[in-house]
Each structure stands twice: as structure tokens, then as C-alpha cells.
Amino acid sequence: MPMYALKNKLQALIAFVLLGGNLFSQTVTPTATRTYSFINYGENHLHYGKDSSLMMNFFNKVSDMREGKRDKVTIVHYGGSHIQAGTWSDKLISNFQSYGNYEGGGLYCFPYKVAKTNSPHYFKSYTTGTWKRFRCATWKEMCVDLGMAGIAAVTNDSANTFGIKLQKNGHHEKFNSLKIYNNMNPSFQYSLAPMEVKYKRTEDSLHRYSLFEFETPIDSVNFQLVKLDTLRRDFMLHGFSLEYDKPGFYYAGFGVNGAASNSYLKCNLFGEQLETVKPDLVIFSLGVNDTQGKDFTKEDYIENYDSLIMEVRKISPDCAILLTTTTDNYIKRRTANKRPIKAQDAMFELMEKHKAAVWDLYAIMGGYKSIYKWSKVGLAARDKVHFSPKGYAIVGQMMFDAIDKSYKNNNKTK
């Protein structure tokens, strides 16, 4: 562990004792099966700086929901391909929902299949039309008016259908309201295909979405899109917010393949759309694509994160921030990458500056060259950058275990 991280770990342990936590519980074996000798299970806990009040505030909100004092707690998770894959997210949110066997809250779902890219398995999207993908990760696919998801699907078809359907999963399978975020182009008209369930539709032109409220819960929707004229080209779809007004966690996994710490800063509708979600906790799991670049600097990395966190705090001043250190990775499969060590140091500096928490996944993995060991046993891909589905499931479980331990140690509700 870097010296800065070691110093902050000692500070965090002192602060933890003052908060009434059980010091020894921070190093117990997590729920994730302790099978692999190269995984540093003793590091699977949250790190705090001198001020952990915002994370404690998040824990209080969780307890309030468990005690029936509120209906929803909102978690937003930003990342690159690790998050777009969805397995990490699926494991994390399934565990959160298990706190109360919740089925409410909701999900933000981007129709990745419509945009011709890989999608989480807990929902499916489909279309009969032709769409083009735009995303914040590369200038070649960049466009104006990208939103909080960092990706959009655009069509100019004269007649088109598109939709989304929740699949069987352990966290969300129904919704009774839906927001469809889009560019509100008057040259296109979209409406729900005929259905038996009655609903009410309202428009929010300020935040550019249509709200559909259904009389009874459903698991899918299908939209019909018609081009009315040629005055303005292109209908842009930003995604769906599926919500169920029963108690539970709302989770928005915003993952874009190739995204780096500066990618979402290019999205000019980032704040406008995030305001409609109002997160209680934002998790940042960016950095692999930063550290893959030979021009990576710790200073630029910190500056990008400063800007991201400031954007979040404009929307939710008391929002808790959880920073994930960059996973170990190789460059072009052959060269072990030392840059994640600098990125790890940066996270601990950001922790102090922004009253954030840190989950040190780099240390948990085993540090430098550890991805090779994960790959050898089938927990990571041959590229030594991505995990396998089993590896992502372990990462998601361990992240929850770390949050859960801190929550139980620092809150009256167990």
C-alpha cells in the first residue's frame, strides 16, 4: 500500500473507533467465498478520512427506509466497461434489495442493444429500426446533448418501434412509472403501443423526458415512433427510468465502454438529467482507461475527479461519494501497468478533499500484476483488463460486503 494510503488507513481506523465501530470486524472474511490466496480479503473495507459524515448520512437514509420512514434510497454508479457489463451492478443491487426483501425503488436502463453494444442481462432492449450510437468515451462517437448516461441512440427512421423488458433477476422485475429521456424533437412523435393497462402521460420539457404512470405494475413497454416532418433530423434516446413506488433502492448503473475520468464531463446535459435522479450515494469506478494511456498523470486524474464530484454536489450537496481505486491491468496484454498505483494515491487524496470514502479494489485484488493471477484461474479475461462474469460477481459481492460492514458498524439498524 502507498505511504499516503497507509497514513490515511491509520487515520480512518482512529476515526472508526471514535464512531463506535468494531475494529476487528473490518478484517473478517467477507460473504464472497474465501477461495483465492491472491485476493487480499483483509483489505475489503471502506477507508475514511477525517470527515466521514456524508457516508454516515447515507447509512442513516438506509436505516430510515428499513424503519419505514422513507420509501427510496438512490444509488448512482459511474464506470466504464466494468459497469456496462452489468454483472458487478447486478450483484451489488441484489444485495442492497435483500436488506428488506425490497422490490420497489427502480432502475435506470439504457437500451444498449438498440445502440448495438453489450448490455446487462437483467433487462433487454429491442427495436425494428436503424439507430446510430453516440457515446462520451471517444471523440469519433461524441455528439452534443449527451446526458447523465454518457451514451445515446439516434435514429432518423420515418417509422420505428423500440422497447425494453425487465428479465428475471434478484432485485427489480416490475415498475409502475417510466420516464423516457429524449431530445423532445417535435419532428417525431412517440407513443406507447396499445396495451391493456391504463396510464397517464405528462411531459417535462425542462428536463426533457415524458412520464408514464401506470395503474398496475408492468415489466415491459413498447413504443411506436413516427416521423412527422423533416424540419429537424434525428430522435435521440437517452434511456429509461423504471420506477416502482414500493420501498426499495433505485439504482442507476451508468457504464460506457472506454469511458475515462474526463468522459462524463463532456456531457452537457449531465447535471440537468442527474437532477431528476437526486442521488444519495454516487460510486465512481473509473480509471482503467485513464491508466491505459501513456499521457496519464495523477494531477489530471485528480482534476477530472474534482470536476465530477463538484457536478454531483451541485445537484445533491449531501450526497455521499464512494471512490473505487483502479483495478490492476496490463497494456496490450503483455505489459504490466504501474500507473494504477498513482491512481490509487490520487483516490486517497480525493477522499480527504471531498469527504469521500474509498474502496481500495486495487489492494484487494492483490496489487501490481494481480490481474494475471485472476486471469489464470478464470476470474479475468485474457486481455488482463476485464473480469470474467464470475470475477465481476466476486467484485460486486465484495463491494457490498465492504459497504455492509461499515453500515452495520456505524448504524443502529443491523
* Residues 93, 216 within the same domain: no
Q: How many domains does the chain have?
A: 2
* Residues 201, 263 within the same domain: no
Burial of residue 44 (CB within 10 Å: 0-12, 13-18, 19+) is buried
* Residues 283, 392 within the same domain: yes
Q: Choose the final residue of a domain: 215, 246, 277.
A: 246
Query: What is the predicted pLDDT for the residue at 35?
Result: 85
**Closest by Cα among 129, 105, 104 to 115:** 129
Q: Is the pLDDT of residue 24 over 70?
A: no
* Residues 140, 48 within the same domain: no
Q: Is the pLDDT of residue 157 over 90?
A: yes
* Residues 354, 380 within the same domain: yes
The residue-averaged pLDDT of 10-39 equals: 49
Provide the angle, in degrees to the nearest 10, between the axes of the packed helices 389-409 and 87-97: 30
* Residues 120, 242 within the same domain: yes
Q: Is the pLDDT of residue 394 over 90?
A: yes
Per residue in 34-74, pLDDT (tens digit) is 689 999 999 999 999 999 999 999 999 999 999 999 999 99
* Residues 276, 150 within the same domain: no
Q: What is the CATH number of the domain that holds 96?
A: 3.40.50.1110
* Residues 280, 340 within the same domain: yes
- Average pLDDT score over the chain: 92
Q: Is the pLDDT of residue 25 over 50?
A: no
The residue-averaged pLDDT of 304-317 equals: 97
* Residues 236, 258 within the same domain: no
CA dist 122 and 92 (Å) reads 13
Per residue in 344-383, pLDDT (tens digit) is 999 999 999 999 999 999 999 999 999 999 999 999 999 9
User: 413 falls in which pLDDT band (50, 70, 90)?
Assistant: low
* Residues 260, 223 within the same domain: no
pTM of the full structure = 0.92
User: 411 falls in which pLDDT band (50, 70, 90)?
Assistant: confident
Q: What is the largest CA-CA distance in the chain?
A: 67
* Residues 20, 84 within the same domain: yes
The residue-averaged pLDDT of 90-107 equals: 98
User: 117 falls in which pLDDT band (50, 70, 90)?
Assistant: very high
Query: What is the predicted pLDDT for the residue at 144?
Result: 85
Q: Choose the final residue of a domain: 246, 276, 292.
A: 246
- Partners of residue 324 on adjacent β-strands: 359
Structural domain boundaries enclosing 304: 1-102+249-414
User: 7 falls in which pLDDT band (50, 70, 90)?
Assistant: very low
Cα-only R_g, the chain: 21
Per residue in 258-267, pLDDT (tens digit) is 999 999 999 9
Query: What is the predicted pLDDT for the residue at 374?
Result: 98
The residue-averaged pLDDT of 403-412 equals: 91
Query: What is the predicted pLDDT for the residue at 31?
Result: 52
Neighbouring residues of 257: CB distance < 8 A, sequence distance ≥ 6: 80, 81, 84, 117, 118, 135, 137
19-28, 91-100, 205-214: least confident range: 19-28
Q: Is the pLDDT of residue 16 over 50?
A: no
Q: What is the CATH number of the domain that holds 133?
A: 2.60.120
* Residues 402, 280 within the same domain: yes
Burial of residue 144 (CB within 10 Å: 0-12, 13-18, 19+) is exposed
Q: Choose the final residue of a domain: 246, 262, 283.
A: 246
